Amino acid sequence: MTLKSKLPKVGTTIFSQMSQLAAQHQAINLSQGFPDFSPDPLLLDALAAYSQQGFNQYAPMPGIPALQTQIASLVQRCYQRTVNAEQEVTVTSGATEALFVAINAVVQPGDEVIVFDPAYDSYEPAINLCGGKAVHIALTAPGYRINWQQVAEAITLRTRLILVNSPHNPTGMVFTPQDWISLQQLVLKHNLYCISDEVYEHMVFDGAPQLSANCFADLAARSFIVSSFGKTFHVTGWKLGYCVAPAALSAEFRKIHQYVTFSSFTPAQHAVADMLAQQPQQVSGLARFYQHKRDHFVNVLHASRFTLLPCQGSYFLLADYSAISDLDDVSFCQWLTKEHKVAAIPLSVFYQTPLTARIVRFCFAKQDSTLNAAAEALCRI
Ligand SMILES: Cc1ncc(COP(=O)(O)O)c(C=O)c1O
């Protein structure tokens, strides 16, 4: 028997492929987006303590109240928006689950969803599984800015949703206030919904304002706003995230969430709630922490033949290698891993129609010693 695939074009993700190749060749892995340093010991102690104290059974479906309350306080602190913790905040098993559930809550068969390439790889399969169609708008180097006129022209009677991601993986582009205003205008004018993927929300650099769909009331009223404690607290393996959405949208979201995971890892919810309550500086200091890493990595790569692209936020840096090689970016990344022992991600995999640009993505959420070792190898090329 052959099962008819619902995702015929999907294979093993490039992230798994590159991490595997990095391990095989003992290369420094700057490909997949996760830190190689430890989270705060307080967080680890809290996780162990809650588990030992018996918090090991199913959490309430929308999240434990203490964490919902802390998320509502965080939204208030960062964006001055008051949300109802009980009705508008849902804890999920990573941002990936929140994105999947939000897409499933909105998209009906035949609906179109506007996504911006380069795009995070989980969006399109989720849209396709609902019978929807992703309409791709390609953003280009060096700034990867959105042309909102082009977006307006891509909207049809079937468009139901716009999916945005700021700070942006993989380009490090961050929305300006005008980007948010333009998005809000289109969403209102065409009666659309928005999913705002804000997993890097606390990593905005160079004193730029940290903005969110939460800051724009009319947009927030039609948005599912998604974030990830994996990114914020350096614990990507805990897969803990959340979705903030108005009560009516959250109610639909929860109908699906309850049958996808029902609830998320209980002791981690308690541990993260404590961190948010007792260590707010961990979140507010994150931009400075990662800006230092970006600056350090940029400095140590200064002598290399890569041309570095601007990075305004997130923990990714794009680098143009056209001065080094004529290889396409997938072949270049394989060569880089095998010959120079540094793994990166080719940019083309984030596009529906790959561009010919010679650009790769490095993750700088690494110890300075890792970044130094990688830079030494990269500068030798
Ligand atoms: C843009 C973006 N969205 C969502 C996610 C998924 O987050 P999580 O690990 O919390 O599922 C990632 C992870 O890399 C990401 O880069």
Within-domain flag for 40: no
Kindly give the distance from the C-alpha atom of residue 326 to the centroid of ligand 1, in angstroms, as a whole number. 31
Q: Cβ(169) to ligand 1 under 6 A?
A: yes
Q: Residue 360: what pLDDT?
A: 97
**Per the structure, how many domains does the chain have?**
2
Within-domain flag for 144: yes
Residue from 199, 243, 264, 269 to probe ligand 1 pocket by mutation (most atoms less than 8 Å from CB): 199
Instruction: Give the CA radius of gyration of the chain.
Output: 20
Q: Residue 356: what pLDDT?
A: 82
Range of the domain at 91: 57-279
State the virtual CA torsion across 106, 107, 108, 109 in degrees, nearest 10: -170
Residues 125 and 23 in one domain: no
Q: Cβ(197) to ligand 1 under 6 A?
A: yes
Residues 307 and 236 in one domain: no
Which residues are CB-contacts of 207 (< 8 A; sequence separation ≥ 6)? none
Within-domain flag for 44: no
Closest by CA to 71, choosing from 282, 276, 278, 284, is: 276
Q: Residue 14: what pLDDT?
A: 85
Q: CATH no. for residue 23?
A: 3.90.1150.10
Angle at 117 between CA 113 and CA 122, to 5 degrees: 65
Give the position, in ligand 1's atom list, of the atom nearest the Cα of 120: 1
Residues 274 and 290 in one domain: no
Residues 289 and 202 in one domain: no
Residues 170 and 246 in one domain: yes
Within-domain flag for 52: no
pLDDT in tens, 255-309: 999 999 999 999 999 999 999 999 999 999 999 999 999 999 999 999 999 999 9
Residue from 16, 123, 169 to probe ligand 1 pocket by mutation (most atoms less than 8 Å from CB): 169
Within-domain flag for 3: no
Instruction: Look at residue 165 and give its three-state secondary structure.
Output: strand
Kindly give the distance from the C-alpha atom of residue 199 to the centroid of ligand 1, in angstroms, as a whole number. 6
Q: Residue 11: what pLDDT?
A: 85
Within-domain flag for 45: no
Segments in the chain below pLDDT 50: none
Residues 67 and 204 in one domain: yes
Residue whose entry in the numeric block shows the structure tokens 């993989």: 170
Residue from 18, 19, 96 to probe ligand 1 pocket by mutation (most atoms less than 8 Å from CB): 96
pLDDT in tens, 197-211: 999 999 999 999 999
Within-domain flag for 37: no
Q: Cβ(199) to ligand 1 under 6 A?
A: yes
Q: Residue 1: what pLDDT?
A: 83
Q: Cβ(111) to ligand 1 under 6 A?
A: no
Kindly give the distance from the C-alpha atom of residue 201 to the centroid of ligand 1, in angstroms, as a whole number. 12
Of the residues 279, 310, 325, the one at which a domain ends: 279
Give the position, in ligand 1's atom list, of the atom nearest the Cα of 98: 11
Residues 162 and 113 in one domain: yes
Rounded distance between C-alpha atoms, residue 179 and residue 212, angstroms: 11
Residues 271 and 210 in one domain: yes
Q: Cβ(165) to ligand 1 under 6 A?
A: yes
Give the position, in ligand 1's atom list, of the atom nearest the Cα of 97: 11
Q: CATH no. for residue 237?
A: 3.40.640.10
Instruction: Look at residue 316 and give its three-state secondary structure.
Output: strand
Residue nearest to atom 7 of ligand 1 (CA): 95
Greatest alpha-carbon pair distance for the chain in Å reads 58
Within-domain flag for 109: yes
Residues 182 and 265 in one domain: yes
Residue from 231, 240, 242 to probe ligand 1 pocket by mutation (most atoms less than 8 Å from CB): 231
Kindly give the distance from the C-alpha atom of residue 95 to the centroid of ligand 1, in angstroms, as a whole number. 6
Residues 223 and 298 in one domain: no
Q: Residue 355: what pLDDT?
A: 80
